[in-house]
Structure 1
């Protein structure tokens, strides 16, 4: 079986916390996560400090990290506009630049203060910026599993937007369950649908969920052939713009437990993971 590739998401876990987490604590936590051996680390975002105050020190945090020369972990920075993409692309340590693109007009306005049409233009410019600076553009396909605002939604609609993104040069997509509305059957159906339609795109899953539903969702994704997952230690976080306190990120330990049950190696340094888990109490 192909190795399972995990993107650990401390940025997503921290961004909604109202009390400001000291920069030194963030950096120390990320340093421990870098030792674990995750495929990617969603470490911070270059966005307006008014929108996400917790991430106002992303650049300072990055300066404090000691990134090993042979580190296999790629750093992923999230942006919400062209200026953020330009700032992220200037950072040598950043490998991936991610943009949250929503199939819901309402949520796109709430999340990035822009329309879908404008966001497609941002993605186009982000791809060009990444190309010039040697970065890889990635798009989160938000609200991919349903629409809570009464707007149209279908599998075909998600595929249509995916096609628009691929036409702009996107080859890395994280299918996002922003409000935790997905079911195991829907996860399997949507993942299979887009993978079949776009065989040249690398798809992963960024699922939010209540803790009790997480395992079944992960099992359905694995059974559908998914090998790339976004998770967060202890399952903290979620999207502060979605206003749903009942769902958060799927806990990394839930995924690891399921992989262990299925005899699927994670490829992680479990001693380093245990230390990162211990230190997470300082953060959260």
Structure 2
């Protein structure tokens, strides 16, 4: 009988205050953002993509990026990174003490044009500038690959294209690369096969995954990635998130749902699930909705009082 082999420990990178907030039209007060980050840190979250240093006109919700970082950068036990679209964003991040910047590439020209107003190859020029800036300033640069498993504009994304862009990242000295299922088009068989081939082809790369639960397959995709040895996943408290430049994109896989999955399968995360659930509930309250969190709806399982049999309306 074949035995499922899973890692003993994983790391969740919280992206709610970046990916989760970026599509929200209603302004979320800076004080609330800071308070929610404190709550998430107190639950044991050890890695967070805290914001994005994009132009305020592109994503108005994140126009307070500097102030947010300045108010949380000294929190203990948590590594903060920021998404940056260009070297100007990287410089802004560096000025407020960010030590890791995340570069972005799309696996399709159509999504790249919608998301960053440039083709994939034009975006590569920007990534090269970011990588050079990071190297000169002692900042870590990691990379993400949006729509890696499928594009809402172009459909299937050939694996050869994914390989080309991973190779481009590696040539720039960027080894930590996240494959993102931006609109929830991935399936477990595809995820398993992609990581199987990519880990063989790029043994020096450190891969992570970013799944959206648009069609209900995020946790199944996480399980497929786990079986390929992937041990770092992006997730979002309350399941918030979605790319404002990708039709049909909805919430990320909920951090509390993944933490529960890992807890139930004996995988260590360092997260206090009760505290995390409280933070996610507060996130929902502040934003006004959640993104489809199962645990927020059902709660952590507990024993209920056993029912009694009734005869003619009387308990016996």
TM-score (norm 1): 0.92
Residue equivalent to 2:10: 4
- Mapped pair 1:51 → 2:54: no
Residue equivalent to 1:19: 26
CA distance in 2: counterparts of 1:194 and 1:66, whole angstroms: 34
CA apart distance, 1:223? 1.8
CA apart distance, 1:76? 1.1
Deviations 1:21-63 (A, max 9, x none): 0111011111212223323101111101111010001111122
Residue equivalent to 2:80: 75
Deviations 1:40-89 (A, max 9, x none): 10111110111101000111112222623xx2321111111121111112
The number of residue pairs the alignment matches comes to: 280
CA distance in 2: counterparts of 1:201 and 1:118, whole angstroms: 23
Could you say which structure has the greater relative contact order, defined with CA pairs below 8 angstroms and 6 or more residues apart?
Answer: 1
Residue 219 of structure 1 contacts residue 258 of structure 1 at CA under 8 Å; is this kept in 2?
no
CA apart distance, 1:281? 3.0
1:181-192 matched pairs, under 5 angstroms: 181-192=185-196
The structure whose Rg is larger is 2
Any idea what SS the aligned residue of 2:101 has? strand
Shift >6 Å, 4+ stretches? none
1:218-257 matched pairs, under 5 angstroms: 218-245=222-249, 247-257=250-260
Any idea what SS the aligned residue of 1:212 has? coil
Residue equivalent to 1:207: 211
CA distance in 1: counterparts of 2:183 and 2:167, whole angstroms: 23
Query: CA 1:82/1:176 → structure 2, altered by over 3 Å: closer, same or farther?
Result: same
Deviations 1:134-156 (A, max 9, x none): 22111111111023333773112
For structure 1, list consecutive stretches of 5 or more residues without a partner in the other structure. none
For structure 2, list consecutive stretches of 5 or more residues without a partner in the other structure. 1-6, 288-316
Residue equivalent to 1:173: 177
CA distance in 2: counterparts of 1:141 and 1:212, whole angstroms: 21
